[in-house]
A and B are shown apart, each in its own frame.
Chain A
């Protein structure tokens, strides 16, 4: 690198920091947006830079590691998938602005969104590599985990956890160790080892090798940021976690942010709007029921209606009537495990389970969603009483349907 280039690079980085400082000040007064400055590039008589602004509130809802940490070479480490995407976006802009015809690459030959997101996922996985003392250039954790998760063992998909930490981490206990640690890049061998894991015994890896099977012990101090979990969820899908929070979920090699299955404040708003229900203990009880139902692996349907008893009686030939019982998380887990809807009143009393709902078909259904979702829409629309349906789909989506939400969609 020539002296002139080094000087120019230093100047650009200094100027970016100065702009970022001003942007931070502006943002802290505004509170709605969070701005990220790119590297300034000289074009004509101006230093030109891109500024990306995102919703601060939404950005903060996603978990992140400690911000403003750096690689040993001074580059910023990505503390979340969002920030990794911001860094990749700016990289792309700088590359395009430094061309002889500034910006032309962005217009004609820009990288695909998926490609940029994968690059962001790779960048985020450099953060644990750095924490484990491995050079991010050689670690390639993102590609490694994609490959391992894609492999089947005797036809079965890989499910299990792998802890990533330096050997002899105080919060990890080895159940038994491998005499010859298996390199992570020996994908088939690692996939085979993954088959041995159970809900409480996982693989232990140091970022380069799997060295033992073990389990977490004691209380982990999250500020250490040196113990990460890779959770292989299903075929070709894995999650990157730290301190119980999912930082990234990767499906078929494409990273995404884990979405909250249910929004608590929105649910509370819906309850107030539909049933005029605000009593905190009743809202809490219903929230617990819905939360438990949303964990049902095969999906389920919960219908809350003011006339649950009358409806249970009307539909008695297509349901299983039960003695009215206030739903607790345990009972919820039991009653939602069978097919059909669960009828509940706003006090959380359940009257019937396995209900096959009826209703008149309307123009609101959608063939892209399943039978459960469409029958919930039909029922909510046709019901003369205030009611709300919570649809948990098998693929993990949770929809709360009320008459008001249907009307809003129109």
Chain B
């Protein structure tokens, strides 16, 4: 009869967490991994379509406003990943207020009754 094979296992390896880039805003631990994965998927899709589309994925964060919060400086959007995305986030100061305007302007009645 064959003797049972000895059980050999690889030494335990601790999962390595990517360190957030200095100066970047951290919301959740996997944000940089998520951005990298999204970038890889975008590369896969758009390089297949056309090599020259050069996809670029940014992760952007807009602070949730408290109901009585009006200070626009505090509410400025930030780039989460990658830290050097090259977009000037000063332009996004009013997005929350503008979003509300859009929300009021859309013909929701029609859309939400038809949508599945």
Interface of A toward B, CB cutoff 8 Å: 1, 6, 9-11, 13-19, 21-22, 25-26, 33, 37, 40, 42-55, 58-59, 62, 72-75, 81-82, 85, 88-89, 92-93, 96-97, 101-104, 106-107, 110, 113, 116-117, 120, 256-257, 259
Partner pick for A107 among B33, B88, B99, CB 8 A cutoff: B33
Are B112 and A14 in contact, with the CB atoms below 8 A? no
A137 to B, closest residue via Cβ: B116
**In the complex, chain B residues whose CB is within 8 Å of the CB of A33:** 56
**In the complex, chain A residues whose CB is within 8 Å of the CB of B41:** 89, 92, 106, 110, 113, 116
Classify the secondary structure of B's interface with A.
helix
Partner pick for B46 among A40, A44, A54, CB 8 A cutoff: A54
B41, B56, B57, B59, most chain A CB atoms within 10 A: B41
Contacts A47-B61, A50-B59, A113-B44 given; does A15 touch B96 at CB 8 Å: yes
Are B30 and A113 in contact, with the CB atoms below 8 A? no
B 72-101 contacts with A by CB, 8 A: 77, 80, 87-88, 91-92, 94-96, 98-101
A236 to chain B, nearest CB (A): 18
Partner pick for B52 among A58, A93, A117, A256, CB 8 A cutoff: A58
Are B45 and A102 in contact, with the CB atoms below 8 A? no
**In the complex, chain A residues whose CB is within 8 Å of the CB of B111:** 73-74
Are A14 and B100 in contact, with the CB atoms below 8 A? yes
Are A74 and B114 in contact, with the CB atoms below 8 A? yes
Are B27 and A117 in contact, with the CB atoms below 8 A? no
Are A48 and B53 in contact, with the CB atoms below 8 A? no
Are A44 and B27 in contact, with the CB atoms below 8 A? yes
Interface of B toward A, CB cutoff 8 Å: 25, 27-28, 30-31, 33-34, 37-38, 41-42, 44-46, 48-50, 52-64, 77, 80, 87-88, 91-92, 94-96, 98-104, 106-108, 110-112, 114-116
Contacts A55-B53, A82-B49, A257-B50 given; does A46 touch B106 at CB 8 Å: no
B97 to chain A, nearest CB (A): 8
**In the complex, chain A residues whose CB is within 8 Å of the CB of B116:** 73
> In the complex, A54→B58 CA distance in Å?
12
A107 to B, closest residue via Cβ: B37
**In the complex, chain A residues whose CB is within 8 Å of the CB of B80:** 46, 48
B80 to A, closest residue via Cβ: A48
B94 to chain A, nearest CB (A): 8
> In the complex, A113→B42 CA distance in Å?
9
Contacts A40-B62, A50-B59, A116-B45 given; does A103 touch B112 at CB 8 Å: no
Partner pick for B95 among A18, A55, A97, A101, CB 8 A cutoff: A18
Contacts A18-B98, A22-B92 given; does A103 touch B30 at CB 8 Å: yes
Are A89 and B31 in contact, with the CB atoms below 8 A? no
Are B60 and A102 in contact, with the CB atoms below 8 A? no
Are B53 and A89 in contact, with the CB atoms below 8 A? no
Partner pick for A103 among B37, B58, B64, B110, CB 8 A cutoff: B37
Are A58 and B53 in contact, with the CB atoms below 8 A? yes
Are A6 and B112 in contact, with the CB atoms below 8 A? yes
Are B45 and A49 in contact, with the CB atoms below 8 A? no
**In the complex, chain B residues whose CB is within 8 Å of the CB of A17:** 99, 102
Are B42 and A46 in contact, with the CB atoms below 8 A? no
**In the complex, chain B residues whose CB is within 8 Å of the CB of A120:** 45
**In the complex, chain B residues whose CB is within 8 Å of the CB of A11:** 99-100, 103
**In the complex, chain B residues whose CB is within 8 Å of the CB of A10:** 103, 106, 108
> In the complex, A120→B41 CA distance in Å?
14
Are B56 and A52 in contact, with the CB atoms below 8 A? yes
Are B57 and A51 in contact, with the CB atoms below 8 A? yes
A-B contact pairs, 28 of them (CB 8 A): A11-B100, A14-B101, A15-B99, A16-B99, A17-B102, A19-B60, A19-B92, A21-B98, A22-B95, A42-B64, A46-B63, A46-B80, A47-B62, A49-B59, A50-B59, A51-B57, A51-B60, A51-B87, A52-B56, A58-B54, A74-B106, A88-B45, A101-B30, A103-B31, A103-B33, A116-B44, A256-B48, A257-B50
A44 to chain B, nearest CB (A): 5
**In the complex, chain A residues whose CB is within 8 Å of the CB of B110:** 74
